[in-house]
Amino acid sequence: MKDFLRNNGVLILIIAVLLSLIVAVSSALLGGFADPFSNLLGVLTTPIRSGINSVVTWAEDRYTAMFRQSELEAEYEQLKKDYAQLEQTLREAQQAIEENERYRNLLGLKEARPELEFTEATVTATVTAVGATNWDSTLTISQGSSAGLEVNQAVIDEYGNLVGLIDEVGANWARVMTVIDSDLELGGLVARTDSTALLEGNFELMAQGKLRLSYLPENSEFMTGDQVLTSGLSGLYPAGLVVGYIEEVRTDPSGMTRYAVVTPEADLQNLRQVFVITNFAATQ
Q: Where exactly are the structural domains of the chain?
A: 118-280
Phi-psi region of 164 (alpha: psi -120 to 50; beta: other; left: phi over 0): left
**CATH top-level class of 118-280:** mainly beta
The span from the first CA to the last CA of the chain, in angstroms, equals 149
Neighbouring C-beta atoms of residue 55, cutoff 10 Å: 10
Separation of alpha carbons 165 and 15, rounded Å: 128
Quick check: helix, strand or coil at residue 238? Answer: coil
Express each pLDDT in 241-270 by its tens digit: 999 999 999 988 877 888 999 999 999 989
Main-chain dihedrals φ then ψ at residue 173, nearest 5 degrees: -155, 165
Q: Helix (H, G, I), strand (E, B), or coil: what is residue 214?
A: strand
- The region of weakest confidence among 76-85, 156-165, 199-208 is 76-85
Q: In the structure, what pLDDT confidence band is assigned to residue 208 with cuts at 50, 70 and 90?
A: very high
- Model pTM greater than 0.75? no
Question: What is the C-alpha separation between 85 and 89, in angstroms, rounded?
Answer: 6
Task: Please say whether the dihedral angle defined by the alpha carbons of residues 157, 160, 165 and 169, taken in this order, is positive or negative.
Answer: positive
